[in-house]
Structure 1
Amino acid sequence: MSDFTGTFSIATSGMKAQAERLRHVSENIANVDTPGYRRKTIPFKEAMETGGVESGRVRLDRRDLPQVYDPSHPMADDMGYYAGSNVDMVMEIADAREAQRSYEANLKLFDQARQMSQGLLDLLKR
């Protein structure tokens, strides 16, 4: 049964990591038009104790912020420019789809392990 417990733990850690990734992608999409906003990313690493996945510290995208020309904007400088957001919607949509598919794969792994452990318990009851 400990193999099943390990499988549940690994699948759960993957779902938690992808859920956190989706949260940051959602924040990025919500702030696509926020002046001065930097895209957030989150790295993953192997959890040595469990073999699962754990998320690292949130990182800010250090690419230059685009300069947007709008002299009427309250944050515009003397030349009429202000720092825009470096969020790329195409990249965020791709990241969201990848996170969703990874979450679903971990969910299927969890469900398969649950079905196998239930089948084993049913066999042991006989």
Structure 2
Amino acid sequence: MSAFSDALSVTSSGLKAQSQRLRTLAENIANADTPGYRRKTIPFTSQPESSSELTRVVPGKVSLDRKELAQIYDPGHPLADGSGHYLGSNVDLLIELADAREAQRSYEANLKMFEQTRQMSSGLLDLLRR
């Protein structure tokens, strides 16, 4: 049964990592029009298990994208300077939506593996009961 628990452990770490990534992407999308907002990114790192040969996925520290903020011309905006410009955000909605789709697919793949592992474990227990 150790192989089943190992598989569940690995897939659950993937589920947690992708859900945190989706939360970060949702925050970026929600703040795309917020002046001065910097896009947040979250890297993934691999963490070997000390008791086995498994490697888990662990989300790293959230960091800010250092890309320049967009200069937006709107002289009527309260944040506009003397030239009529203010700093927008550096969030590109197309990139955020593509990343969200990728994270969603990865989450679904991990969930499918979790469900299949659980079904195999249940099937094995049914066989052992006979």
How far is the alpha carbon of 1:5 from its aligned partner? 0.5
Q: Which AA in structure 2 matches 1:68?
A: I
Q: Which residue of 1 aligns with 2:64?
A: 60
Structure 1 stretches of 4+ with a deviation exceeding 2 A read none
Deviations 1:74-95 (Å, cap 9, x if unpaired)?
Answer: 1111111100000001001101
How far is the alpha carbon of 1:52 from its aligned partner? 1.5
Percent identical residues: 64
How many residue pairs match? The answer is 126
Q: Which residue of 2 aligns with 1:117?
A: 121
Q: Which residue of 1 aligns with 2:109?
A: 105
CA distance in 2, matches of 1:9, 1:120: 18
How far is the alpha carbon of 1:116 from its aligned partner? 0.7
CA distance in 1, matches of 2:47, 2:57: 5
CA distance in 2, matches of 1:114, 1:64: 47
Normalized against structure 1, the TM-score is what?
0.97
Q: Which AA in structure 2 matches 1:44?
A: F
Q: Which residue of 1 aligns with 2:10?
A: 10
How far is the alpha carbon of 1:48 from its aligned partner? 1.2
- Which segments of 5 or more consecutive residues in structure 1 lack a partner in the other structure? none
Normalized against structure 2, the TM-score is what?
0.94
CA distance in 2, matches of 1:78, 1:48: 55
How large is the Cα RMSD of the aligned pairs? Answer: 0.7
